[in-house]
Amino acid sequence: MYIVTGANGGIGKAITEALAKSGCRVVMACRNRQKAEQVRQQIVSLSGNSGIEIEELDLASFASVKEFAARLLQGGEKIEALINNAGVMCREFGLTEDGMEQMLQVNYASPWLLTHLLLPALAEGGRIINTSSCTYRLGKTDEHFFDVTAENYGLFKIYGRSKLGVLMFTAELAQRLEGEKITVNAVDPGVVDTGMITMHRWFDPLTNLFFRPFIKSPERGAATSLYLALSEAGRAVSGGFWINRHLRKMPKDVIPQEARGKLWELTERKLKKYLEK
């Protein structure tokens, strides 16, 4: 079983379609079941693979993450790959129902929680694929990682912080899972033509005109995640940062184990209630 978060649009849809065409059984983890069902039907029709199902998951709700994981664990099926693809970029400051800044929760904290809850179901040789971004360079981590207010909010600052968190989580989890025959890697899909840069209109018209030739299609944006999900590379390497299907060095910000450990402990404290059985 392959799990893809945010599977009903953009990169997630492209990943799901390619997995379906490869004969994989896929769980589309999506917030909007009605919208996801339309996509599911398209993919089944295109691929001839009926083993595609939908499970509701709202990453802006820790309760939803826990309920989703409980349903999958109850089924008893082994997970070949967990692809934490879903993400948001929010121009305006906002808090989730859990009181956390929305990008930090959807892009970082909820994938962290989901991964931990599903670890018991990962098959031998299972793969965890996290989605980061080159904007990690704009982020920083310290004891105030989760302390975001309307006054100190900045779109790229907090988005970058969430993506730096993903890289640090990837490196730390890979180290903690050494010898477990489960790999953990992060990908940077690049700038992809999805609702994140069109519907939300964070490019002004002139910037859009300049960057348009460099923007990838969802299919190209999905290529590295698919490579790690289906190839031997995804089984052979753990703790890597991948761009355009090539392994890159983890950024120097991510290497210090003390910083990674502190963020891990901080996140664990935040999510303690949802990690308890």
**pLDDT by residue (tens digit) across 167-209?**
999 999 999 999 999 999 999 987 765 555 443 444 455 555 5
Whether residue 183 lies inside any domain: the answer is yes
**What's the CA angle centered on 164, arms 158 and 167, to 5 degrees?**
150
- Looking at the domain assignment, is residue 59 inside a domain? yes
List the catalytic residue out of 2, 108, 136, 159.
Answer: 159
Question: Is 159 annotated in the active site?
Answer: yes
Q: Is residue 204 part of a domain?
A: no
Give CA 149 to chain center in angstroms.
24
The three-state secondary structure class of 100 is: coil
Separate counts of helices (H) and strands (E) for the chain: 11, 8
45 contact partners, CB below 8 Å, separation of at least 6: none
Residue 152's domain is classified under what CATH number? 3.40.50.720
The answer to the question of residue 206 being in a domain is no
In a domain, 199, yes or no: no
Sequence-separated (6 or more) residues with CB below 8 Å from residue 271: 62, 109, 112, 113, 116
Residue whose C-alpha is closest to residue 72's, from 59, 55, 85: 55
Encode pLDDT of 91-126 as tens digits: 999 999 999 999 999 999 999 999 999 999 999 999
159 in a structural domain: yes
| Segments forming the whole domain that contains residue 119 | 2-190+218-275
Name the strand (E) or helix (H) holding 258: helix 257-270
**Contact (Cβ atoms closer than 8 angstroms) between residue 62 and residue 98:** yes
Q: Is residue 200 part of a domain?
A: no
Angle at 85 between CA 60 and CA 92, to 5 degrees: 45
Q: What is the pTM of this model?
A: 0.92
- What is the pLDDT, as a whole number, of residue 197? 44
User: What are the residue ranges in the chain where pLDDT is below 50?
Assistant: 197-203
Rounded distance between C-alpha atoms, residue 136 and residue 208, angstroms: 22
* CA 87 to chain CA centroid, nearest Å: 6
Is 158 within the bounds of a domain? yes
Number of compact structural domains in the chain: 1
pLDDT of residue 255: 75
